[in-house]
Structure 1
Amino acid sequence: MDRIPIWVLFILLIFLHITNSEEEDVTLSLIKFLGQLSNNQIDPSWGWNLTSDPCAGKWKGVTCNARLISVKKIILDGLNLTGTLDASSLCNAKSLGVLSLNDNSINEEIPEEIANCKQLTHIYVSGNQFSGNLPDSLSRLNNLKRLDISNNNFSGELPDLPRISGLISFLAQNNQLNGEIPQFDFSNLVQFNVSFNNFSGPIPDLNGSFTRNSFLGNPELCGKPLPSSCPQSPPPKKRSKGLSSKQIVMYLGYILLGLVFIIFIAFRLIKRNKTKVSKGTVVDGSSNKTSTASTENKSGASRSEFSIASTGSAAASSSLVVLSSPVVNGLRFEDLLKAPAELLGRSRHGSLYKVMIEDGMTLVVKRIKDWAISSEYFKSRMQKINQVKHPNVLPALAFYCSRQEKLVVYEYQPNGSLHMLLHGTQNGQTFEWDSRLSVAVSIAEALSFMHQELHEDGIAHGNLKSSNILMNENMDPCISEYGLMVVDNQNYISLTKGSDLKSKDQNEGGAYSTFKVDIYGYGVILLELLTGKLVQNNGFDLARWVHTAVREEWTVEVFDKALISEGASQERMVNLLQVALKCTNPSPEARPSITEVAVMINTIKEAEEGSIVSEP
């Protein structure tokens, strides 16, 4: 027999290496994961070994995507596994969506590292011997839909699971969990059972969704639907109305000290304002002029460009309104004035700065110019927005308003924006279809919540775009700068070229509804997620280009090539594209509400998850 040339063997080796679906480190990690579950007694017939690939080698219990390039499901039910769950190794399979370990004898705790499996949508660990507290990190699995921890020995209080907005099933019966039951979104849940635990206190408002069977076996629970009613809280004890002579003397002393302190502060402010006037007015750093007050600080960085002119109110130092956030408790206006500021971006609506204050905290300050609204209305608007909280909306920490300009302070988000994730330097990272769809769902649900809560006040976002979607420390999307723009007719025209601008949206109560502009902005973000293209680039208009492509029946050509090569479902990409086209309809009245959009997007996401679960 003739010998095979060495170059042929070399090519074969390269080919075999290329066709491996998962990287070697993922293969090693998964084998380590199963080794911990089976106490290093892996059955050879299962195929889990270093000489094969998890997808191509048809490992027992492993299901990959249609193109056999990434692990989507691991189902190891009823295999008499008696070890521990090694989440650190498991989560190296970044695309893992379903983990099922039902009916084994796995023990110890679920580790905090489970939060690293960011794409998990289904976790089933029923019928094991898990114990200890559930990890707080479970609440960071924002894609989680179903969680079944029933028939184990879990104890302690539940983590903040209600923050997972898409959770539709939570089964925790037959454990030893205690504390009060959190306020889940029971209108969204289709399965819920916490029976036979040690929960106590009142049952939250269920919206009529579940019966007493979901809560039996918790003797200290009370309230509907259980027959036992909750005891009324005792009335507060009445305080004594009289004051002793000692208390009167003490309070008078405090009042005198307060008066002395106020007089001292007023004297210092008057003196400082006189000094500022003698030195001259600080001007906008974007101007070509310089000011004697714009000096170098101790760190050598130039002072903040958003310095307030000395002609402003003498009480400027007290004009910074700190909202209900412990992050910047005690922050003063002077702290912003003397902090070094790095310009992050500038637009026609204002500028954005990264600011490092003295205690090492990093903030972002949005400076809004030429917004012709009163300080009173701006203050009222910011306070109304602050009353509405959603985990995917970045809250303002503080704000300042004067007749000339307005400042809004946020916590700095180091992971950049959705715009950078889509169009910036990738450094070898991929932005997969599942992640893009999850981002679309999170933004839609957050925007729907904000629109519903602030609809009566007429406060929409006004400037929704991918650069205003920031990625937090867990790489979850957060809508920033909510409500910092009121769209006038001219801006509206620029966003809706070709639409019938004579029509008016009477339902929204305005000539041109900012809420409808938000829908358009969200539709453009969907187009960016689907196409991977910039919204505007050298005369290229993304929305117009996509509408034209669909009319000329070459829809498939618009999708991002990275999604095509990944093997993303073309059917669901087309469905998402249809939603984007509805949102960017030139006629505002034809656009759906964001609540309708959120329902459509969630339907697509559930279909995607259903396909993962049902794949053979």
Structure 2
Amino acid sequence: MDRMAYWVVFIYLFSLFHAAHSVEDEVKQSLIKFLSKLSQGNGQIDPSFGWNMSSDPCNGQWKGVTCNDQSTSVKKINLDNLNLIGTLDAESLCSVQSLAVLSLNNNSITGEISEEIGKCKQLTHFYAHSNRLLGRLPNSFSGLSNLKRLVISNNNFSGELPNMPRISGLITFLAENNQFTEEIPDFDFSNLQQFNVSFDNFSGPVPDLKGRFGVDSIMGNPGLCGNPLFISCPPSPSPTKKSSGISTEKFLTYSGYIVIGLIFLSFVAFKLVKRKNRQGKTSVVKKGVSVDGTSSKPSKVTSSENKSGVSRSEYSITSVESGMLSTPLVILTSPVAKELTFEDLLKAPAELIGRGRHGSLYKVTMEDGTTLSVKRIKDWNISSDEFKQRMEKVDKVKHPNVSPAVAFYCSKEEKLLVYEYQQNGSLYRLLHGSQSGETFDWCSRLNIAASVADALAFMHENHLDDGIPHGNLKSSNILFDKHMDLCISEYGLMVVDSQDSLFLAHGGGNKTVDNSKDAHNSFKIDIYGFGVILLELLTGKLVQSNGSELARWVHSVVREEWTVEVFDKELILEGASEERMVNLLQVALKCINPSPEARPSMNQVALIINTIKEEEERSIVSET
């Protein structure tokens, strides 16, 4: 009886272990249906493939299937060179949400790819060259934000390409020998490593290939023109003049009356504005609040709420305090604001997009359509000369991932920093407030960590003698430009208050930063801030109290040896490498050490993270 009980327990434990290390039946059914559609006309799967409900895809019995390290989810399907002649069932395929790599090269697969392919959200590699696929490439392809490589050459695709430039991380696009038409989209050619659309039916001007791709990548498209082809594009047709039915003489007469009327109205408006200016001073940034903080009657203001709860308001600033104009706006080296004046800046419509302890942030739209971000700083006791010297020093050090200020203004009452507006939001929004509902994969998070580390290491090294760190590093200051390249904003605005003791404390004492006495610790503030950003990337959790609450929670979980519980569930479901996530977590814990002296330098941090990134890239290459 004891032996029988032993076997019962053993069989029960074995079944539990097997269930924890196997793929769900629903996934197996979807994959079997997918392969049956790809197989011969009778829909029967070759038994030698091993794709059946009685076996597990992750134990090596399913031909062409590779799983994650835990053998719990399918990551890669490689069915190259198998004489498959059916159709691609995207609906069944994308039921396997963990799938990252699909390779169907050198078969005879026919039919169209349905829009359901857009549900394969984790897909990073799609290879289907040398098949008989036809029809339009689905628009949903452009929604695959994780896609890195798309190879569809030697098929019968036709029609216009979807909005592929929307995929910011795309590094390979090979679509030669198809029948695509219309214009070639304006890809991010500075990011692409492989590109070929030769021998299609594209027409119109060739986009700027950034000098990275030659004639061989676009040849065989008779309708194309422009560089690098030796075919000039025809001039754009000028608009046809329409007869107005009014004689030239009458037109000139009426125009004269209009001009005289406009001059008269302008004169009256000028007098009215001048009289109004004499009656009182108006607000500098927000109507209803004067420079010295006293309130006045506000003009018409329209407001709305953004997703973070910050009230967004549009302001129309029609006049400024005369004393403020005595100090000019200092234009730095950026060409974005070369004609900008302080008066233009204040008169332009402004929208409040953020408010924090150290000031407010406004989106300002200039008359010529240029959009700028203006940071209005408060409670920073620094003289105008010191402020100017600091901004000029920061401007001299350039890094592609650090957003430079384009101009600044400093008077006794006001300190303003002007930046180019970045339209794709911040890392904070990407992690916590994404409107798209798309997942934020492990590779993207790791790339962001490496890019921020490299940029900070560069800035620290070049500003070491000046003692100028970032000073307020957080995920809301990591922005993304129109190409989704990240840029660190507000570098050099050291406005940390005395309550930010966790950054500087040697055991619990509070103190404000004095660059001249404690330059070493001032750079350690950035190390701590970067460590908190790493925790955000790894956990997906919100940051409060300068990250101290998140740091305490992570430490408590790690102490209990439940490290895997730290990581964002999206990363776990994706099948991200636990080993490399743990390695990055160890870097974060070193960065948030309560003792500044115990924290590593940014150069050391960048070196470690780039090593982790290289290991990840080698792993992806070995899988493909």
Which TM class, normalised by the smaller chain length?
0.5 to 0.7
Letter in 2 for 1:315: S
The equivalent residue for 1:212 is none
Alignment partners' CA distance in 1, 2:324 and 2:290: 20
Alignment partners' CA distance in 2, 1:585 and 1:120: 37
1:510 corresponds, among 510, 514, 518, to 518
The answer as to 2:104 corresponding to 1:61 is yes
2:294 corresponds, among 286, 289, 297, to 289
Alignment partners' CA distance in 1, 2:190 and 2:410: 35
The answer as to 2:145 corresponding to 1:94 is yes
- CA, structure 1 residues 89+541, in 2 after alignment: closer, same or farther (shift >3 Å)? closer
Shift of residue 560 of structure 1? 1.2
Q: Which range is displaced more, 330-339 or 554-563?
A: 330-339
The equivalent residue for 2:432 is 423
Q: Do the aligned partners of 2:500 and 2:510 also contact (CA within 8 Å) in 1?
A: no
Unaligned stretches of 5+ residues in structure 2: 1-24, 39-81, 106-119, 200-204, 219-227, 229-272, 304-312
- CA, structure 1 residues 328+604, in 2 after alignment: closer, same or farther (shift >3 Å)? same
Shift of residue 509 of structure 1? 7.9
The equivalent residue for 1:279 is 280
The equivalent residue for 1:565 is 573
The equivalent residue for 1:216 is none
Alignment partners' CA distance in 1, 2:348 and 2:93: 54
Letter in 1 for 2:618: G
- CA, structure 1 residues 47+502, in 2 after alignment: closer, same or farther (shift >3 Å)? same
Letter in 2 for 1:613: V
- CA, structure 1 residues 391+401, in 2 after alignment: closer, same or farther (shift >3 Å)? same
SS at match of 1:597: helix
The equivalent residue for 1:72 is 124
The equivalent residue for 2:609 is 601
The equivalent residue for 2:591 is 583
The equivalent residue for 1:339 is 348
**TM superposition score normalised by structure 1:** 0.61
Alignment partners' CA distance in 1, 2:301 and 2:343: 13
The answer as to 2:535 corresponding to 1:527 is yes
After superposition, give the CA deviation of every residue in 1:135-162 in whole Å (9 maximum; x if it has no partner): 8634453xx6xx3569999x9998448x
- CA, structure 1 residues 514+561, in 2 after alignment: closer, same or farther (shift >3 Å)? same
Q: Do the aligned partners of 1:433 and 1:563 also contact (CA within 8 Å) in 2?
A: yes
SS at match of 1:71: coil
Alignment partners' CA distance in 2, 1:436 and 1:277: 56
After superposition, give the CA deviation of every residue in 1:537-573 in whole Å (9 maximum; x if it has no partner): 7997111221232233221111112222222221221
Shift of residue 493 of structure 1? 2.5
The equivalent residue for 1:413 is 422
1:48 corresponds, among 88, 96, 115, to 88
- CA, structure 1 residues 406+502, in 2 after alignment: closer, same or farther (shift >3 Å)? closer
Shift of residue 481 of structure 1? 0.9
Q: Do the aligned partners of 1:150 and 1:174 also contact (CA within 8 Å) in 2?
A: no
Q: Do the aligned partners of 1:535 and 1:543 also contact (CA within 8 Å) in 2?
A: no
The equivalent residue for 1:184 is none
1:259-270 to 2 correspondence within 5 Å?
none
Alignment partners' CA distance in 2, 1:86 and 1:341: 41
1:89-168 to 2 correspondence within 5 Å?
91-99=142-150, 114-120=164-170, 137-139=187-189, 141=191, 147=193, 159-160=209-210
The equivalent residue for 1:383 is 392
Q: Which range is displaced more, 568-577 or 282-291?
A: 282-291
Alignment partners' CA distance in 2, 1:523 and 1:595: 14
Letter in 2 for 1:601: I
SS at match of 1:603: helix
Q: Do the aligned partners of 1:87 and 1:113 also contact (CA within 8 Å) in 2?
A: no
Alignment partners' CA distance in 2, 1:336 and 1:502: 38
Shift of residue 419 of structure 1? 1.4
Q: Do the aligned partners of 1:48 and 1:59 also contact (CA within 8 Å) in 2?
A: no
Shift of residue 518 of structure 1? 0.9
Letter in 2 for 1:482: Y
Q: CA RMSD in A?
A: 5.2
Alignment partners' CA distance in 1, 2:195 and 2:547: 54
Alignment partners' CA distance in 1, 2:435 and 2:589: 28
Shift of residue 374 of structure 1? 2.1
Alignment partners' CA distance in 1, 2:155 and 2:374: 53
Shift of residue 395 of structure 1? 2.3
**TM superposition score normalised by structure 2:** 0.60
The equivalent residue for 2:7 is none
Alignment partners' CA distance in 1, 2:325 and 2:139: 56
SS at match of 1:331: coil
Q: Which range is displaced more, 333-342 or 84-93?
A: 84-93
Shift of residue 375 of structure 1? 1.4
Alignment partners' CA distance in 2, 1:302 and 1:567: 48
- CA, structure 1 residues 405+69, in 2 after alignment: closer, same or farther (shift >3 Å)? closer
Q: Do the aligned partners of 1:126 and 1:149 also contact (CA within 8 Å) in 2?
A: no
The answer as to 2:377 corresponding to 1:368 is yes
- CA, structure 1 residues 89+406, in 2 after alignment: closer, same or farther (shift >3 Å)? same
Q: Do the aligned partners of 2:424 and 2:481 also contact (CA within 8 Å) in 1?
A: yes
The equivalent residue for 1:315 is 326
Q: Do the aligned partners of 2:30 and 2:93 also contact (CA within 8 Å) in 1?
A: yes
Alignment partners' CA distance in 1, 2:163 and 2:475: 30
After superposition, give the CA deviation of every residue in 1:288-307 in whole Å (9 maximum; x if it has no partner): 73347x655999954559x8
- CA, structure 1 residues 151+421, in 2 after alignment: closer, same or farther (shift >3 Å)? closer
SS at match of 1:460: coil
Alignment partners' CA distance in 2, 1:419 and 1:322: 29
- CA, structure 1 residues 46+599, in 2 after alignment: closer, same or farther (shift >3 Å)? farther
Shift of residue 391 of structure 1? 3.1
Alignment partners' CA distance in 2, 1:597 and 1:361: 37
Letter in 1 for 2:501: I
Shift of residue 522 of structure 1? 0.8
Letter in 1 for 2:474: K
The answer as to 2:549 corresponding to 1:541 is yes
Shift of residue 529 of structure 1? 0.9
SS at match of 1:352: strand
After superposition, give the CA deviation of every residue in 1:430-484 in whole Å (9 maximum; x if it has no partner): 2222222222222222222322333333222110001111232233322111112
Shift of residue 18 of structure 1? 11
Unaligned stretches of 5+ residues in structure 1: 1-14, 29-41, 63-67, 162-169, 178-197, 199-271
The equivalent residue for 1:445 is 454
- CA, structure 1 residues 338+69, in 2 after alignment: closer, same or farther (shift >3 Å)? closer
